[in-house]
Structure 1
Amino acid sequence: MVTITARKNMSQDDVFELYTSGDTELYTDYDQLYSSILNSDYCISVIDDDQLIGLIRSSGDGNYNQYIAEIVMHAGYPTHGIGSKLLDAYLTAAADVRKIYILSHEHYRTSFSRTWLQYKGFKLIAENDNIILYLLDREIKY
């Protein structure tokens, strides 16, 4: 059964399995990555039975700006709609945050990713050979 949670109760082994499920290794220091996840302002994860299959995390000031560090999906779960559910849960949890940025190196350059993020309300605001930056700017009345 697939569940989405804001609890940061995943183990370091769960994190390692998720982040190494694809073709490329995203990190080399998994102790530091695990600490970063636990210290993120927002962390939403997707669990299938007891397996961590997705994670989104961000940090920022909690009110005006949040920076999504990454949206990671287990390589064994493509095209299941889990990424959309994960991002929707994150956007609900961060409902009081006005500006949400996604800064990425390569993962959001594909036409699918661009279309998906635009559908979710993000706008591409900057791109060069090294980075790509998206922004969701919401009108929030404080």
Structure 2
Amino acid sequence: MSLNPPFTAETARLKVKKAQDLWNTQDPRTVAKAYTPDSIWRNRSSFLSGTQAIEHFLTKKWEKEKSYRLRKELFAFTDNKIAVQFWYEYQDSHDGMKWKRCYGLEDWTFAEDGRMRKRMMSGNDVEITDTERWYKEGVDVEDVQISEAHW
């Protein structure tokens, strides 16, 4: 089954889960290959373009965000666009290893070959305690029941 546009409900959902799995590798070089060479990004207040800049950005991200665990869910889609809601947890190496959860939304636009040519991300970090964590060691992010209050 092709995960290239145009998307169906099934292929859009599978594309989101493939991205989730890819990002959970925390391998900047591999993740960057999923984007076109001229891909445009906005990640919070950072604006960048191109796979080299993406790889650099992700390297810095995962130097800061330790114990990173991510879940993405399909929010909406069209022929070549997907909107995603996501939640990830990490320990902030720049803030005393405090646990944090990021809540966010992304909109993605894809090239014909299935690579992403545009990614726009908005997210907010919330400090959490160890007992508030969802993605503890051994827990599959897919098994976590996320209540409506967090959607």
- Provide the TM-score with structure 2 as the length reference: 0.30
Bigger fraction of residues in strand:
2
> Scaled by the length of structure 1, what TM-score is found?
0.32
